[in-house]
Structure 1
Amino acid sequence: MGETKFRKKMYKSGKFWVAAGMTALTVGVVGAQRVGLPVFTDGLQEASAATVTSPLTIDQVTDADTQAGASRTVNWNGSSAWNNSDVTGLGTYNGSTWTADRTYGGQSKDPAGATYVKLVANGASTAGYLYLTRQFDATKTFTITGYLHPNVKDADTWMTRDYSDWTGLLLTPTDPNKVASSYDFGSKGGGGLGIEGMKNAFALGVDFHKNSDKNDPAEGPFAALRTTNSSGTLTATQGLQNNVAGTATYTDGYNLTNWNTTIKYTLTWNPTGGPNGGPSIKATMTPTGTRNSEKTSWTVDTAAGKVTLPSVSALTFGLNAINGQNKNDQFASIDSVSGTMATGTTTVNYVDTSGKVIKTATSFIGSVGETVGITGLSSDASTADYTFGAPTIRGYKASSATNSVKISQTASANVITIKYTALPF
């Protein structure tokens, strides 16, 4: 299946803006420091780039965010979440590779005013993802709210069995830009909920179709929290525990055909609360209307249910929908995000033109998903989140640097190399 990604290109205060740095003739490159607005703020505004120069060089950096004056703790509204998100897709639709649609139908809004993304259209064997480009630090609490809308644009009817395969939220340790490519859609289809094969992942949402081979507990549509184990296999669902309300990981005892198709979700991750002090999830799904005296909401509480969840250090959040042979439009949105962003470590190498090490490598941390480059040397420095100068090395002049690194969880993939040319005696 094909995969595509669409990155929103716009000036926004979800990034720091940089301009060209200054180059000293024979003593190296002076670092550039970003300005103005904090990286993670609420109510983001479009902004123009500004130039501030600084003597800070990459070997002086131990924490890119802290040393740029930014906090990794975020409190985003829908607009901020939109500006710090991206979309991707799997499969083909009308002969073209499918990706989720951020502009369909003039960008319709959810009841809280956030913009819906069209995750899938009415084409078979397609999947769409909307995901945050930063990861959560899973050793700290975080909360996300928004809406699922398994229906056509601006319509609100009652949910039906086999409307699609799945719509919901996903949490996965996978790096943000690898969310879709990590899912084996060809073999897992809709039954894998977009997470099967990913180790220690979570899915919360509406399952429209019963897949007995996936241990689905009932005919759809039903709500469920599903997890994968350390091998990436979907674990069995869990029903009501000892008749205690709120302990089932699926809508035990009723389906959702009496819910309408505009559903608010709230999910809170807690690094404690579970068995043996492990992590826990409390999530609620609430439709804007019901019929036939149906329950008006459903809450899953893994702490109350004593459900053991896998411990992870970082999680990517996304919304996804999957059409198998059951195919229809589905939309979703993010209204608010609060939590702390996860970090990755980047190594910086300093070599001469033959590759010989001329300065001991240094390292720094930064938020997963950020891009960091070297001012005046990285060819894509003007689009990086941060740039810093190349340090002075006696007898050499900085001559080139690799492209900006996009920080991931995988330290071995996070490498910047700066090359230096020897100066004549």
Structure 2
Amino acid sequence: MALKITVIGTGYLGATHAAAMAELGFEVLGLDVVPEKIDMLGRGEVPMYEPGLAELLRAHVAGIEGSSGRLRFTMDFAEVAEFGDVHFVCVNTPQKHGEYACDMSYVDSAMESLAKHLTRPCLVVGKSTVPVGSAERIAARIAELAPAGAEAELAWNPEFLREGFAVQDTLHPDRIVAGVGSERAERLLREVYAKPLAEGTPFVVTDFPTAELVKTSANSFLATKISFINAMAEVCEAGGGDVAKLAEAIGHDERIGSKFLRAGIGFGGGCLPKDIRAFMARAGELGADQALTFLREIDSINMRRRGAMVEMAREAVGGTFLGKRVGVLGAAFKPDSDDVRDSPALNVAGQIHLQGGQVTVYDPKGMDNARRLFPTLGYADSALEAVRGADVVLHLTEWREFRELDPAELGGATASRVLLDGRNALDPALWRAAGWTYRAMGRPAA
């Protein structure tokens, strides 16, 4: 008999996973504790912007004309427990207020709410990013609470979704990691992921601690690479080098590679910053804090880039933001997303506003979320409106729309043709040819 899948938590990760499981042919029941979210998803609407997700959802949500009907949503844990053979837990693990550690309350609550209703053999699969050691503790708690006892097993299957590519990453992952405690758990996960495995996706079987460490290790390595090239940008600034050419040169070394070597204002979002901080905190609890002290400097370099962009902008407008208009292109932490959590772009815009600048922001998808987070900033409906009358323009999120802007048309709207490229993503020659003063971190002024 075909497996039935449940997905607990229908935020960014859960909504994508639920729709993808339905696309892979499974009957899926999604659960959330927020009624508004359940209502939206039940109408085939997505509470966040993610390319291709709304279309995938509408193709499978029950009650929508032309859909497969394989995907439904509920708020009832008892219904989920009765329905599912494999339960994916996809809830958030934010950073605790006032400290680096990870807040496990949502995961623990979801696991306990589910466990007490598990009356038959099943597999509970954690996908959230958690501190190493969590799975072993949760497995024991499920066995204690579940009427099915040890027949309700746990596995850990970390997610590796990139915002902007989440649908692709779920349906065609570059690897699947399965932290399991039995052959049965491995067999069930192989059955769930049979289609991507048939395409050749590697399947890495590990114990619980290794599976928990994979995501935080991968994110730490990525953060290190980004902060490394940003540190080199600081040296280039001091020594007169060009960080873009430097990155090109070292990127040809196959041991290093060219990906994520674009210097700029650094990383943000809901994963990378909080994951490396939680990793440091957990290492400290385990007595291995010295192993990850380098991550403190990675975090410091990253946050320093935001301040450097603010300083570059102040210098560009004559030493003070008072009475100056600043146009900001970008609010989301990365392109193809409306996610503004820990967004470097909004952080820079906010700092400039606090220092007296009149800031106007435009982002293709992140405007509503930005307004909720920074209601005192100015917002415009287009790039042209955002830069109207601006003394300086800051390019802070590398949307394709911004790369395709006409520098001459934009220049006609500004008070001064000064562009600071915080992402090193625009063509300096093109903008300079249109009469702009173009600056980017770690690159010569001309």
TM-score under structure 2 length normalisation: 0.27
Q: Going by fraction, where is strand more abundant, 1 or 2?
A: 1
Q: Going by fraction, where is helix more abundant, 1 or 2?
A: 2
